[in-house]
Amino acid sequence: MFEMATKGESTLEDEEDAALCASEEESKATKSAMTGTSEVKTKRMAREKKRARPTMEYQGGGDDDDEHGRMKMQRTTLPFVSPERKPRRVAGAENGVKRPQLMRTPLQVRASSKARPVQGAAEVQQQVATVRKKLKTAILQHKANVLSKLEERYTTLRKKVAAELEDAEQQLQALRKANDTINELAERKLQVLTKMAATEIMWVQKTRLLR
């Protein structure tokens, strides 16, 4: 009986040990899973913080401020949008629409235009020729109008300058005549004064001799 009791107790203890081991393994597995998820979360948060751009700093005045008037969370982060280039979808690509062609160089354009005859090219060339003729005639008319206006202005200015020159010459002639008359009068006065001075000198000499 004692042996049976000891065997029963040993089996119970073994079962309890197995249950404890199983519970410990489950807790370890859950912890490892939790730690794994937490590590993934921390890595992802660090990546988002690196990618995110900070907004303006908080200026204070909220309900969650500390004693210095500053918010406990100084900076907030914006959600990051990765600038990955996605392939452009062409409208109607599912229905067999071709993708748009790239820009061609002028040489390619010229080669293609030479290779393929364009419909109505002769009419277009005639229109271009007529437009060029009209432009040439218009330019020539404009040049002629401008030249005629310039010639008119030149003639008017020449007439004005000629009239001013004639007036100036007349004024010079009048001034020369006046100068000549003034010189003649001055010479006459000088002759009269010299004669009067000579007569006075003669009288003075005669009076001295008489004394």
Report percent pLDDT > 70 for the chain. 50
Confidence of residue 174 (pLDDT cuts 50, 70, 90): very high
pTM of the model: 0.32
Distances (CA, A) of 33 to 25, 47, 48, 71: 12, 21, 22, 35
Would you say residue 82 lies in a domain? no
Residue 17 or 204, more confident: 204
Chain-centroid distance of CA 164 in Å reads: 53
Tell me the per-residue pLDDT of 96-147, one tens digit each, with 9 for 90 and over: 555 555 555 555 555 555 555 556 778 888 899 999 999 999 999 999 999 9
Give the domain extent around 12: 1-53
203, pLDDT greater than 80: yes
Would you say residue 16 lies in a domain? yes
- Mean pLDDT of the chain, nearest integer: 72
Residue 179: per-residue pLDDT:
94
Would you say residue 78 lies in a domain? no
Would you say residue 140 lies in a domain? no
Would you say residue 128 lies in a domain? no
| Residue 71, phi then psi, degrees to nearest 5 | -75, 145
Q: Whose structure tokens read 């908080």?
A: 58
Q: Which of 55, 99, 100 is nearest to 75 (CA)?
A: 55
Would you say residue 7 lies in a domain? yes
Which residues, listed in sequence order, are joined to residue 65 by a DSSP beta bridge? 71
Distances (CA, A) of 42 to 37, 49, 53: 9, 10, 18
Residue 24 or 185, more confident: 185
Domains: count for the chain: 1
Confidence of residue 1 (pLDDT cuts 50, 70, 90): very low
| Residue 90, phi then psi, degrees to nearest 5 | -90, 135
Alpha helices in the chain (DSSP H): 2-51, 106-115, 121-210
Would you say residue 71 lies in a domain? no
Residue 58: per-residue pLDDT:
47
Would you say residue 27 lies in a domain? yes
Tell me the per-residue pLDDT of 49-92, one tens digit each, with 9 for 90 and over: 766 555 444 455 555 555 555 555 544 555 555 555 555 555 55
**How many C-beta neighbours within 10 Å does residue 133 have?**
10
Judge whether 77 and 54 are in contact, CB under 8 Å: yes
Residue 171 CB contacts under 8 Å (≥ 6 apart), including other chains: none
